[in-house]
Amino acid sequence: MRVVLSKVANIHYNEILVQLSKKWTQKEIKVFISEYEKVIENIKIKLVSYPYYSKKDKIQFALMGKKNVKMFFKVYPNENTIFVFDFFIVRKDPNNLYLL
């Protein structure tokens, strides 16, 4: 199953890594990347059922980074694809969340 990040998700993912590098050590960056990879693997093998952000649109989210980041995604089983819409830092204003 392939993983596709939207432009917004790619930008926000890199911003999170830059922010981590300013405040924390390489260890925390590796932990965050590891959590991301673990979530993706869990989605692929359907090990964990993640909650829905929008049940109608089948958009789900996973908490990462000590529950400080929400990763919004949708699984397209027919295309064998996981599409990541955004990475959102939960301490930010929810009105700034891009429309999914």
Q: What is the pLDDT of residues 56-70, one digit of tens each?
A: 999 999 999 777 899
The confidence band for 99, taking pLDDT boundaries of 50, 70 and 90, is low
In a domain, 11, yes or no: yes
pLDDT of 93 strictly over 60: no
Taking every pair of C-alpha atoms in the chain, what is the biggest distance, in angstroms? 41
| C-beta of residue 1 within 8 angstroms of C-beta of residue 82 | yes
Q: How are beta strands 81-89 and 2-5 bridged, if at all?
A: parallel
Q: Which domain holds residue 19?
A: 2-92
In a domain, 78, yes or no: yes
Global confidence as pTM:
0.86
Residue 12, φ and ψ in degrees, nearest 5: -65, -35
The number of folded domains in the chain is 1
